Amino acid sequence: MALTPEQGREIEQQRAAVQQTRRATVPALEEVLYQPFPVLDHGFVRVIDYMGDDAAIVQAARVSYGRGTRQISNDRGLIRYLMRHRHSTPFEMCEMKFHVKLPVFVARQWIRHRTANVNEYSARYSILDREFYIPAPGQLAAQSASNRQGRGAVLEGADAERVLRILRDDAARTYTHYEEMLNEDAEGNPRDPAHPGLARELARMNLTLNIYTQWYWKIDLHNLLHFLSLRADPHAQYEIRVYAEAMLDIARRWVPIACEAFEDYAIGGARLSRGGIEIVRRMLAGEAVKQEDSGLSKREWDELMELLGRG
């Protein structure tokens, strides 16, 4: 993970400052506020700000003014009820703002979640750093034969070396050409005054998708959990999944009761169709149900059997 000197100084200043407030704070999250969590080779996730906690979810659900004489066990029961029955509005009362550094191709997949406020580093205004995501050897996999958007066997030996060489060479070459077209140094001064540089908004178009970008990403808890349910899933692409896993660890610090319910019901649980429930009932009644007379397609049947441990 690489931070610019300016970012490093900013983080030191932010973590050194202590603010007095009447709003709810979470000690476990305050410990890591502003601190970057490394992801991939040059990326990170860090919390810039947050609003609310587990008690805020309960308060919103009850539209009350404070905890009063309620017990935490009661709060836990209510949060689990809200999660179980998909009452999402109380979770929307909590928000978090992240600073994320990530490869452009991951950002383009991530941005499809249109439920957050995003402000990205502008390559029209600033010059991008010479930083590229190069996969670890264990992540260099062939195309899956059965899944059009998945990976198959890991490449090894000469095949892996060839791919890594191509990735490194292409990234280095295009960035060198990017610098040549810009014709300016980091301070914006022309390298060769005799030749005008290409506009930054045009020079960037030649860069590879594994170059790193950065953004601020603010989202409410309900939509964050939806994002995590999809992107922290084992079937998600590795490069976005590791970001989601880092954010899930942060969320556990922030709202531990809500995260426990989320992991029990959304990640560890499963939803059954009407047909799936009927098949389970028939099985519990002692009937030997087969796919042919189940009313389910073979794919639905296989997924149900895998879920029930009969795959």
Interval 159-214: pLDDT, tens: 999 999 999 999 999 999 999 999 887 777 788 787 888 999 999 999 999 999 99
pLDDT at residue number 69: 47
Give the position of tokens 């439920």: 115
pLDDT at residue number 192: 79
Contact 113/223 with Cβ under 8 angstroms?
yes
Strands ordered across the beta sheet of 117-120: 37-39, 43-51, 95-103, 212-220, 117-120
Chain centroid, CA 254 distance in Å: 16
According to CATH, where is 3.30.1360.170 located in the chain? Answer: 5-133+210-267
- Give just the sign of the alpha carbon dihedral 98, 6, 187, 103: negative
Instruction: Tell me the pTM.
Output: 0.89
Does residue 159 sit in helix, strand or coil?
helix
State mean pLDDT over 3-25.
Answer: 86
State mean pLDDT over 86-98.
Answer: 96
180: left (phi over 0), alpha (psi -120 to 50) or beta: alpha
CA–CA gap between residue 300 and residue 78 (Å, rounded): 33
Residue among 162, 231, 274, 310 flagged as catalytic: 231
List, in order, residues 6 or more apart from 112 with CB less than 8 Å away: none
Contact 167/154 with Cβ under 8 angstroms?
no
The answer to whether 231 is a known catalytic residue is yes
Q: Which fold has domain 5-133+210-267?
A: Gyrase A; domain 2 (3.30.1360)
How far CA 22 is from CA of 10, 25, 270, in Å, comes to 25, 9, 40
Taking 50 as the threshold, does the pLDDT of residue 155 lie above it?
Answer: yes
How far CA 94 is from CA of 54, 90, 175, 294, in Å, comes to 9, 8, 40, 43
Does residue 38 sit in helix, strand or coil?
strand
Looking at this protein, which amino acid is placed at residue 268?
G
